[in-house]
Amino acid sequence: MAPSDIPAEGSRVKMQVEGPAGETQHTGVILPPADTGFVSLKLDNGYNVSHPLSNITSLKLLAEAVPRVESENGELEFDATLPLIRIIHTGGTIASKVDYSTGAVVARFEPEEMLAAIPELAQIARIEAVKIGNMWSDDMRPQHWNLISQATAQAFEEGAVGVVVTQGTDTMHMTSCALSMAWSGTGGRPPGRIAITGSQRSSDRGSSDAAENLMAAVQWAAHGPQTDGGLGDSVVVVMHAASEDGRCSVHPGSSVRKSHSSRRDAFRSINANAIADIILSREGPRIELRESYNPTDERPISSTPTIFDTNIRISNLVAGPYLQAELIDAVAKMGGDAIHIQGTGLGHLPIEDPMQDAPENTELKAALNRWSESGGITLVSSQCIEGPVNMAVYSKGRIQQEMGILGHNSRCGPDAAMIKLHWLLSQHGKDIEKITEAWQDDLVGENPETMSE
């Protein structure tokens, strides 16, 4: 087959190939060739294949390439009638390339490069892109949540109807929960839609999920329903719904968690249902809302987001055979504000010694009592991730409640619990009565009355 017989890049084709493994058939979209004399396809499963022209026995055109929307100077040109969306870039794999001299992934992809690489965005919305950082998400701290929430507020003030935040996936669920609290914790809702997205594979890898995730997030920000504010939709996480291409899930930002280190469908809604699915096809993305999602406009629109107090110190501990009293005493000595312990099962701690052979347990109980009496706050969540914290089922849980430990009847995951506690401390200081009362509330959809099974 001659190079002149190959349709334009972006065309969808069915290709028959004769190779060492015999005759195979591929269906996908033509990419720039991997090398001279080759044809490269992006397959429906998201991966790429390349074959020499000499091995191609037949090639059938299924659909013409979608034309790129560009001005004469080569820049993307947007339809003035489309809604205005601002992409706020913070870094992460969606904005990274592979350094092929070392094999390492480095964060260096500029917002303008993202737009040039995904011209389909011009058919969804008018796009502005700003960069407020270029960092991995595991380096993010509360001050960065404040920076991002302020950047979203500025975007709305300057006319954007929606915002897409691009960041690394490792702490994306923490950022989404923090921004949800910032915008809606006091009972309001943001002026527009906010979607956070990223990618599990760098943008220049054949298996990258970056383009579809970004297109889906822009679709939600531009054309999604008006936010409710109390259903986990103030800020959503938009990522691949499966290993294959073609569908992304819209997760409630206050009830979501990264549950796999490398899969493209790494994110899961926690104790809640996904809000919607976004189907991606050659006709463009479309939103399919879940039946369980029924937003209203009852909440007032918030003018500005609240801020996390970056001086607050919360120690994050894990219950089990290695939790010692010395850790609690060390937090007290450091002048910490609160302790968050990921308890076992329904939210239990090792504080009893029925066989009289584990004095560490009674020492831990005594240390927690000292901490509580000094004004320190202790919150328990569950290592199980999904399911409620219920400290009324067993006597141990009731003892923990008597000790002043918070967390009973909570239905948010451990990360969301910690972030909610930080936000409450930022609003109420160490007023234990106000924090205890607010803890039982479902502020932004993080503590839904009805959990998904």
Q: Is 233 assigned a catalytic role?
A: no
What residues have CB less than 8 Å from 113, skipping those under 6 apart? none
Task: For the chain, give every domain's residue range.
Answer: 3-63, 84-289, 314-439
| CA nearest to 250, candidates 196, 177, 188 | 196
Type of residue at 243: S
Determine if residue 345 is left, alpha or beta; phi over 0 gives left, psi from -120 to 50 gives alpha, anything else beta: left
pTM of the prediction? 0.83
Which entry of 170, 228, 233, 245 is annotated as an active-site residue? 170
Burial of 119 per CB tally in 10 Å (0-12, 13-18, 19+): middle
Q: What is the pLDDT, as a whole number, of residue 87?
A: 93
The CATH architecture of the domain made up of 3-63 is Roll (2.30)
CATH class belonging to 84-289:
alpha beta
Q: Fold for 314-439, please state it.
A: Rossmann fold (3.40.50)
Which entry of 166, 169, 175, 227 is annotated as an active-site residue? 169
- pLDDT digit string, tens, across residues 188-216: 999 999 999 998 866 555 567 888 999 99
Q: What's the whole-number mean pLDDT along residues 33-43?
A: 82
Which entry of 90, 93, 175, 227 is annotated as an active-site residue? 93
Domains 84-289 and 314-439 are alike in CATH topology: yes
Going by pLDDT thresholds of 50, 70 and 90, the confidence category of residue 290 is: very high
- pLDDT digit string, tens, across residues 209-222: 888 999 999 999 99
pLDDT > 90 in the chain, percent? 69
Q: Is 169 assigned a catalytic role?
A: yes
Q: What distance in Å separates the CA atoms of residue 87 and residue 196, rounded to the nearest whole number?
A: 10
- pLDDT digit string, tens, across residues 388-434: 999 999 999 999 999 999 999 999 999 999 999 999 999 999 999 99
Among 115-119, 309-313, 326-330, name the one with the lowest average pLDDT. Answer: 115-119
Q: What distance in Å separates the CA atoms of residue 173 and residue 267, rounded to the nearest whole number?
A: 9
Q: Is 170 assigned a catalytic role?
A: yes
Which entry of 258, 265, 378, 420 is annotated as an active-site residue? 258
Question: Is there a contact between 62 and 70 (Cβ–Cβ < 8 Å)?
Answer: no
Question: Is there a contact between 282 and 12 (Cβ–Cβ < 8 Å)?
Answer: yes
Going by DSSP bridges, is the β-strand pair 276-279/247-252 parallel, antiparallel, or unpaired? antiparallel
User: Sign of torsion, CA 95 152 230 397?
Assistant: positive
Q: Is 306 assigned a catalytic role?
A: no
- pLDDT digit string, tens, across residues 212-250: 999 999 999 999 999 999 999 999 999 999 988 899 999
